[in-house]
Amino acid sequence: MFRTHHQLSETRRPRVVIVGAGFGGISAAHGLRKAQADVVVLDRNNYHGFWPFLYQVATGILETQEIAYPVRSLLRKQDNVDFRMADVQSVDLDRREVLTDRGAFEYDYLVVAGGSATNFFGNDELAEHTFGLKDIEDADRLRNHILSAYEEAAAASDPARRDALLTFVVVGGGPTGVELSGQLATLAHRTLPREFPSLDLSHVRVVLVNSGDSVLQTFPEVLQAHARRTLEKLGVELRLEQHVESVEDGIVRFGDGSQLGATTVVWAAGVRAGDLTAALDVPLGPGGRVPVTPTLNLESRPEVFVVGDMAYLEGYKGDKAYPMVAQVAIQQARRAAKNIEALESGRELGEFSYLDKGQMAIIGRRSAIVDGFGMRLRGVPGWLTWLGLHILYLSGLRNRIVVLLDWLAAFVSPTRSTNVITRPDAGERVAQVQERLLAAHRESPAELEAA
Amino acid sequence: MFRTHHQLSETRRPRVVIVGAGFGGISAAHGLRKAQADVVVLDRNNYHGFWPFLYQVATGILETQEIAYPVRSLLRKQDNVDFRMADVQSVDLDRREVLTDRGAFEYDYLVVAGGSATNFFGNDELAEHTFGLKDIEDADRLRNHILSAYEEAAAASDPARRDALLTFVVVGGGPTGVELSGQLATLAHRTLPREFPSLDLSHVRVVLVNSGDSVLQTFPEVLQAHARRTLEKLGVELRLEQHVESVEDGIVRFGDGSQLGATTVVWAAGVRAGDLTAALDVPLGPGGRVPVTPTLNLESRPEVFVVGDMAYLEGYKGDKAYPMVAQVAIQQARRAAKNIEALESGRELGEFSYLDKGQMAIIGRRSAIVDGFGMRLRGVPGWLTWLGLHILYLSGLRNRIVVLLDWLAAFVSPTRSTNVITRPDAGERVAQVQERLLAAHRESPAELEAA
């Protein structure tokens, strides 16, 4: 399994292994650009994904590859860093080795930045019957599924069957759930009517489910209210103070006992730290995150740093845990890089301090809410701010230009030219859910009517 | 299976069913835009693919979705046409019905434009161990495989293993084989050295195999010679008057008994008509194509037209069969559309006549050969002509702009920002071939040296 052993020579520069090429991993590598060290970045994918845009890939605004940038290209200009595409399997903290499917990597310093995964809270059935939205594979699968559902609906003769195909349930009222449901409504009521002239798209239902009494609950109340109004104007049905009990055979069962036939259910209700945290052999904190010291390393292993979604550290707005967002990962990674240089030169480590740049969410086609630096923006001014900042953080000139172009197109025209179904098995899967739904429907036809 | 029956009413306009949304199918639909008819286009994919660019997707110049355009968007402005995503299973010529996985479609007139498939000449082993390049799925799979081979090579410690990972064999000296091998050489010697600093890319071998004594043998000799020189300058090894006997366990065996370890073998040595021709229940001609009359319909069934790659008709440059190229499909489809209107109004059918617009092939990064309208261009003038004409034939403003942008980037810079591995199983597959190759190598180490 571990074919290659990447051994260290005797007289040498310190070796830093960074696990993960997300916002944290790339920022840590960049932070070490002047360090007298040999840095190697490991990731199971060869690209850095811009996850805030996943929902745009899922709804056909952007192409899959627009939100991915090859890690090797990102790191090309930095002489002291190499990349290896490798799936990390475990970490031997005593031997200071990262074990992967492409050999073992020795380290003097380790930065763990493995990001997060969808949290189904241990419910395997949910994991199997809903779509997550955490990586390119997820987004690509969801886009294929959504478009196949419309194609299947165009061919469906049974109304109950057709309605289930045109019902999209999004669980989770955070930014991902809000952005996705807004785009699903726009797709249904603005883009697709011209492409499916024979299908009555007034049957489409986009349902956003949240356990709280509002959406985007980390934002100020006035912006939450604006978001709710905008979503309702777009045609999104809000089901607040509600939760999903189960999803099976195309039927969603809610906490209050009501049910809904839906071929597409997206689970955006929770994230947790990725599975890699188990490899570190330390007791985990809330969300499966690894508790770190204020200098971002492990209490017992000062040479091991954990940053971003995987790290558990309190101190946000008083004594809350730092949220699982890109800005925290980026700033923590920079601090970890500085602290590695400090350890190496015998200087004192610095504690992590967070510059809160605020938060943003886009709702629908040209409206966004922004809360930061004392500003509260909404509507078009919010959208323009959102747009500018996101373009800035996107990697690569080519992707910036193409993304801008696609947004411009989405802004002025209802067309989405990337609405292509690229997975030959997508239709088959939709049909399978449909068959099961139909079977369930025949057994107890009344169930589907409740809602 | 056939859930829906798309029946015709009593008093009605004639119904035209077009099978296939390639160059032929879309041109037939457009040709019928003024017809008093109800047209339905069927395709198993929801997009129109621009196949001449497949090799660019395979080598990371263009993104997958840039060469695909939703059929529904293409047909949106035409009132008398609808699209159904459906996999055609058979045609009932007596009942005039097309049977699909999404119901049966009755027709008064049928246009069969199902295109072509890779011709492995019945050799299942070749089909299993080589990559075809006929659709988006193929191109996407090949790109993932190529990039994974480089990543695997970066981690390989055994030199024989690494060399096989860096050996790319392309079989077939037509435009696809030439264009692909030129791009593979450019990728190896221009793009990737900056991204794989720890890998010595002088080990890369790109081998182009052709049974003839030159390449691009439908072009004039002077342009063939230019193509050969350009390929050799790019670093492509030409193996002419040679053929591939077998491919197995990562070892390519040639007709002269020599062998070569190669993880990547692309089969671009033949095309045949797609499998749909079998459904028509007529004796097939060369290449599995359906013999048609000069008016492009079946002798026995004048209401059934066959166009493009699927149609066998002589009359090209004297008495040769019309080649399987986009221009023939487009022009035949227009003639078929006119003949349907003629049949409907009792007028005489017109025979197909071909306006030969010539042929082009791109070699490497900014060189192309053009042979048409009495012109013979090569180098940059050829490239500019190629570029202009291909942009013209590409569907959709958005894709035209993005493709131009990506070409511009490829022209001025070695970077390819779409070099991302999107298939999580690609690396696994490369590793599997490698394991088999290594096992074969251990059994008979001498074999690999021959070449």
Q: Cα dihedral angle (B111, B115, B120, B126), rounded to 10 degrees?
A: -130
Catalytic-residue membership of A245: no
Minimal Cβ distance to B4: which of A73, A157, A419: A157
Whether A213 and A392 have beta carbons less than 8 Å apart is answered as no
Which DSSP symbol is given to A188? I
Report pLDDT for B258: 95
Range ranked top by mean pLDDT from A46-50, B5-9, B104-108: B104-108
Residue A402 to chain B, least CA–CA distance (Å):
7
A418 pLDDT band, cuts 50/70/90, is low
**Intrachain domains B5-44+86-118+271-345 and B124-269+359-449 with the same fold:** yes
> How far away is chain A from the Cα of B401, in angstroms, using its nearest Cα?
9
pLDDT at res. B149: 93
Neighbours of A340 (CB within 10 A): 26
Contacts of B70 in chain A (CB under 8 A): 195, 416-417, 419-420
- Of residues A179, A232, A341, A348, which has the active-site annotation? A179
* Per-residue pLDDT tens over the stretch B149-183: 999 999 888 898 899 999 999 999 999 999 999 99
Q: Which residues of A touch B86 (CB under 8 A)?
A: 155
- How much is the pTM? 0.84
Question: B63, B66, B179, B341: which is the annotated catalytic residue?
Answer: B179
CA distances from A421 to A141, A151, A418, B23 (A): 9, 10, 9, 18
Q: Where are the domains of chain B?
A: 5-44+86-118+271-345, 124-269+359-449
pLDDT band for position B392 (cuts 50, 70, 90): confident
B window 89-128, beta carbon within 8 A of A: 102-103
Mean of pLDDT over chain A: 87
Mean pLDDT of B264-284: 91
Q: Phi/psi of residue A277, each to 5°?
A: -55, -30
Give the burial class of B1: count Cβ atoms within 10 A of its Cβ; 0-12 exposed, 13-18 middle, 19 or more buried. Answer: exposed
Is A420 close to B68, i.e. CB distance below 8 A?
yes
pLDDT at site A122: 83
Chain B neighbours among A 198-217 (CB < 8 Å)? 198
User: What single-letter amino acid sits at B378?
Assistant: R
Q: Evaluate whether the domain defined by B124-269+359-449 bears CATH number 3.50.50.100.
A: yes
Q: Which residues contact A423 (CB under 8 A, 6 or more apart)?
A: A140, A141, A144
- Cβ of A417 and B76 within 8 Å? no
pLDDT at A116: 93
| A398 CB within 8 Å of a chain B CB | yes
Q: Helix, strand or coil for residue A317?
A: coil
The H-assigned helical ranges of A312-357 are 326-345
Looking at residue A445, its pLDDT comes to 43
Looking at chain B, how many residues does it have?
A: 451
Confidence band, pLDDT 50/70/90 cuts, at residue B421: confident
Architecture of domain B5-44+86-118+271-345: 3-Layer(bba) Sandwich (3.50)
